[in-house]
Structure 1
Amino acid sequence: MANDLIPFTGDRLSQARAFTGLSDEALRVRAVTAARDKDFDALWNLTQAYLLSDTSSGVRLSPHTLRAYRKGVEVLVGHAHEQAWNLLHPGRREPGMFVASLTASGLTPATVMARVAAASALYRALRWAGATDADPFADVKRPKDRTKGIVKNPPYRADVVQAMLAESDAQERVLLLLMAHAGLRIAEALAVRWEDLDLPARRLRVVHGKGDKSRVVPLSARLRDALTTLRAETTSVGGHLTTFRAYSSAYERLQKVALKAGVAHEFRGFHAGRKYAGTQLYAATKDFTRVAGFLGHEQVDTTRRYVEVPEDDLNDVVEGFR
């Protein structure tokens, strides 16, 4: 995981200002030079500056999203080197061949789409810098994944969650429950501060969710107990709940927990915990709209991909048909 870390040379706004502070001509020249030389570091820095300064999410883009964009730009630049692309003026058929090569390499449709999204972001950055008018991926067909996400990456089973909780320390237990009971994304869970909690009212305010949207989620009794235990072990009264803040650190810690619990083969990262929360809530409410609000989804159709509905869910209803 360490190779996926994004080099940090200051706060995000400072990184963006290294480009936005340039004159239009200086920015264009820098972008043209980077594209001509197929200089990955320079092209990624340009893309990151664009993403941080000229998109709706801006400086609140999650580290996970930035890692995905960085990897996609790296893959495109490597392909451009191998195929002797002119990045500023790519051939009409070259983008389609790039997508075809990704698919042929065995990548899943979801990963291919993520790589194409990053490539598109690079070209938006180049247009933003005035280096080109090219938009080569605008009409490229993306592969469609016919397998539902809930099938490919289903929620954790209850016994897996319980086994991991039994082997967790206070911080790891809180992190697990923030996802499996409160339905938080990993970036949201790692960002929670003590002042975001209202234990007497049994609620947590997610201050900066995806798209910089805030929401309030209820806290289960078990999560409140875990938070109380963690608070008793914590010397500072403010700050973040966990001493580790990086995605990679959290992943490694929970992966070790799964190994100790004997469920390493079941460990699938963080999203399966969030799906566990959504599935549990839907089983209790039978209401996708309420689950969508709980998970912080704008569209109920997104929520449907997070909830595992039993195949026999309608058996009792159909039984009474007249």
Structure 2
Amino acid sequence: MTLEVYRGDLLSRSREWTGLHDDELRRRAVRAAAEKDAPQLVSLTVAYLAHGGGSGVLTSPRTVEAYALGVRQYTEYAADQAVGVLRPGRHDAQGYVNAMLAAGRQPAGVGLKVAAASCLYRALRWAGACEADPFKDVRVPRDPTSGIVKRPPYSEDELADVIDCADVQARFLLFLTAHAGLRISEALALDWADLDEVARRINVRSGKGRKGRIVAMSSSLGRACRQYRALYAPGGPEHMDGKRTTPAERVFRYASVMTARYHIEKAFRKAGATFRGFHPGRKYAGTRLLRQIKDFGRVAAHLGHASVDTTRKGYAQLAADDLKDDLTGW
């Protein structure tokens, strides 16, 4: 299976479809669906996201990639199971969901695949190719186990060991995720002007849903930031060492999440720890801060969550005996 790589901006990618006459748009969409042509169906879905999606041309590249993968997987399933894309049977959509669950996929992951397949059908309706909406009434069971239990945060000892083994750049990135609680995409998008070590503030301009926020630095993060700036900021000894692939105003030289992951994984291996992604660092920040201030609302603001429920279910956890001091003397 080949992942559709994000190339260029959404507007330019969508012109393959939006430049067509309505009749030709419909004809090409019908043919792509009838032939189960995955690349063309992905292309059509991307065009719809640019013109009919909630975020339009500002849809994030990661969302585009996730939907591209989901459309490809649904198309492959439809081909293997002889499902008519334009005229699916009454039970075909739920059958797709049940097949993923039976194969061991977690409900949350199945929900993402359903979202991608639903977007494909919105794109087909947008193109006038069909009126089908097979995923409208499908049911994906809820997982009763919270996200923080299934995918727990890094422990204090894990992070301490890795930070001791990390180079200056990897250490700074770890502090940004595990203390400031930044998403990896937010950290890699930082410019030098976004960092204020004196006031210990970070200006996150590219948060999820394009929401900006101001994030406080911990004392350790402030020190790591000063050390990193001394080496890698414009004019620093490591700024133009021939390895930079990002613009000079960008804080990190990592041009992609995959490159950042490669360097962080080296530090984890050196420390004898298992790298489980960047999100367990955010969960560490949420859990540690919640146990300190016991306020889900403030923790949600720190992590950039629109809903406190997101923080409560997947990012922050109080100790089981958190109330013992409050109950003393009852």
Q: TM-score range by the shorter chain?
A: over 0.9
TM-aligned CA deviation for residue 97 of structure 1: 0.8
The 8 Å contact of residues 202 and 220 in structure 1, kept in 2 or not, is answered as: yes
- Go from structure 1 to structure 2 and tell me whether the alpha carbon gap of 1:148 and 1:298 turns closer, same or farther (over 3 Å shift): same
TM-aligned CA deviation for residue 186 of structure 1: 1.3
How many residues were matched structurally?
Answer: 317
Paired amino acid for 2:250:
H
1:195-231 per-residue CA deviation (whole Å, 9 max, x = no partner) reads: 2122222111111211111111011222122222222
Find the residue that maps to 1:91 and give its secondary structure.
coil
TM-aligned CA deviation for residue 148 of structure 1: 1.0
Residue matched to 1:308: 317
Aligned-partner Cα distance in 2 for 1:59–1:245: 22
1:143-154 to structure 2, matched below 5 A, reads 143-154=141-152
Find the residue that maps to 2:89 and give its secondary structure.
coil
1:215-254 to structure 2, matched below 5 A, reads 215-234=213-232, 236=234, 238-254=248-264
The 8 Å contact of residues 6 and 65 in structure 2, kept in 1 or not, is answered as: no
Find the residue that maps to 1:289 and give its secondary structure.
helix
TM-aligned CA deviation for residue 259 of structure 1: 0.9
1:1-322 to structure 2, matched below 5 A, reads 6-234=4-232, 236=234, 238-264=248-274, 267-305=275-313, 306-321=315-330
Residue matched to 2:244: none
Q: CA RMSD in A?
A: 1.8
The 8 Å contact of residues 6 and 64 in structure 2, kept in 1 or not, is answered as: no
TM-aligned CA deviation for residue 56 of structure 1: 2.9
The 8 Å contact of residues 173 and 187 in structure 2, kept in 1 or not, is answered as: yes
Aligned-partner Cα distance in 2 for 1:54–1:294: 32
Aligned-partner Cα distance in 1 for 2:298–2:61: 28
Gapped regions of structure 2 (runs ≥ 5): 236-247
Find the residue that maps to 1:175 and give its secondary structure.
helix
Find the residue that maps to 1:301 and give its secondary structure.
helix
The 8 Å contact of residues 4 and 69 in structure 2, kept in 1 or not, is answered as: no
Aligned-partner Cα distance in 1 for 2:165–2:229: 19
- Go from structure 1 to structure 2 and tell me whether the alpha carbon gap of 1:57 and 1:167 turns closer, same or farther (over 3 Å shift): farther
TM-aligned CA deviation for residue 125 of structure 1: 1.4
TM-aligned CA deviation for residue 8 of structure 1: 4.2
1:16-58 per-residue CA deviation (whole Å, 9 max, x = no partner) reads: 2332333322322221111111111111111122223332333
TM-aligned CA deviation for residue 300 of structure 1: 0.9
TM-score by length of 2: 0.90
The 8 Å contact of residues 172 and 224 in structure 2, kept in 1 or not, is answered as: yes
- Go from structure 1 to structure 2 and tell me whether the alpha carbon gap of 1:159 and 1:59 turns closer, same or farther (over 3 Å shift): farther
- Go from structure 1 to structure 2 and tell me whether the alpha carbon gap of 1:290 and 1:225 turns closer, same or farther (over 3 Å shift): same
Aligned-partner Cα distance in 2 for 1:307–1:195: 30
